Chains A and B, each alone.
Chain A
Amino acid sequence: MTDPTEQFFTELVAHGRHPLLQTTTGTIRFDVTGTGRTEHWHARIDKGHVQVTRGDDTADCVVRVERALFDGIVTGHVNTMAATLRGQVEVEGELHLIVMLQRLFPGRPTPQPAHTGSRRQPR
Chain B
Amino acid sequence: MSIGSVRTLDGNTFVVSDTRGDIEAHPDEPTGLFSWDTRFLSRWILTVNGKRLTPLSTDDLHYFETRFFLVPATGTVYVDATLSVIRRRAVIDGLRETLTILNHAGQPADLTVRIDAGSDFADLFEVKDHLKKKGKYYTRITDNQLLLGYERETFRRETLIVTDGATLDDQGLTYTVHLDPHGTWTTDIQVSHSMWGWAEHQRVVSNQQQAHSRRGMEEDLAAWMEDAPKLECDWEPLKHTYRRSLIDLAALRFAPMTSGVRCLPAAGLPWFMTMFGRDSILTSLQALPFVPSLAATTLLELGARQGSRLDDFRDEDPGKILHEMRYGELTAFEERPHSPYYGSADSTPLFLILLDEYERWTGDTRLVQQLEYEARAALNWIDEYADLTGTGYIWYERRNPDTGLENQCWKDSWDSISYRDGRLPGFPRATCELQGYAYDAKKRAARLARLVWKDPELADRLEQQAADLKERFNRDFWVEDGQYYALALDADGTKVDTLSSNIGHLLWSGIVDRGRAKAVVGHLMGPRLYSGWGIRTLAEGEERYNPVGYHVGTVWPFDNSFIAWGLRRYGYKTEAARLAAGMLDAAEYFDGRLPEAFCGYPRDVTKYPVPYPTACSPQAWSTGTPLLLLGTMLGLQAVGNHLVVDPALPIGIGHLALLDVPGRWGRRDAYGRGRVQVRATDRRKLRPQLSGLEDVVARREQ
Contacts and interface: CB of A to CB of B under 8 A. Distances in A.
A23 B370 contact: yes
Contacts of A94: 206-207
Nearest to B388: A119
Interface residues of B, number: 48
Q: Name the residue among A91, A99, A107 with the largest chain B CB count within 10 angstroms.
A: A107
B196 A87 contact: yes
B155 A87 contact: yes
Given A87-B154, A87-B155, A118-B384, A96 B259 contact: yes
A91 B205 contact: yes
A79 B385 contact: no
Interface string A96-112: 10111001111110101
Given A82-B332, A107-B316, A120-B390, A96 B196 contact: no
A102 to B, nearest CB: 9
Contacts of A14: none
A7 interface: no
A121 B259 contact: no
Contacts of A23: 370, 373
Interface string A112-123: 100101111111
Given A22-B373, A92-B205, A120 B387 contact: yes
A86 B154 contact: yes
Contact of A86 (B257, B308, B332, B388): B332
A86 B153 contact: yes
From DSSP, what is the main secondary structure of chain B's interface residues?
A: loop
Interface in B564-597: none
Interface residues of A, number: 40
Given A23-B373, A85-B327, A121-B390, A99 B207 contact: no
A12 interface: no
B260 A96 contact: yes
Q: Name the residue among A88, A112, A118, A119 with the largest chain B CB count within 10 angstroms.
A: A119
A119 B385 contact: yes
Q: Name the residue among A22, A82, A122, A123 with the largest chain B CB count within 10 angstroms.
A: A82
Given A96-B259, A107-B314, A120-B387, A84 B309 contact: no
Given A81-B339, A107-B310, A98 B258 contact: yes
Interface in A18-54: 19-20, 22-23
B384 A81 contact: no
A98 to B, nearest CB: 7
A90 interface: yes
Contact of B203 (A91, A96, A118): A91
A115 B311 CA distance: 10
B389 interface: yes
A119 B270 CA distance: 37
Given A84-B204, A99-B304, A103-B305, 11 more contacts: A22-B373, A76-B309, A82-B331, A84-B203, A85-B339, A87-B203, A92-B205, A95-B259, A96-B260, A119-B317, A121-B389
15 contacts: A23-B373, A82-B333, A82-B334, A85-B328, A86-B332, A91-B204, A94-B207, A95-B257, A96-B258, A103-B309, A107-B309, A119-B317, A119-B388, A120-B383, A120-B387
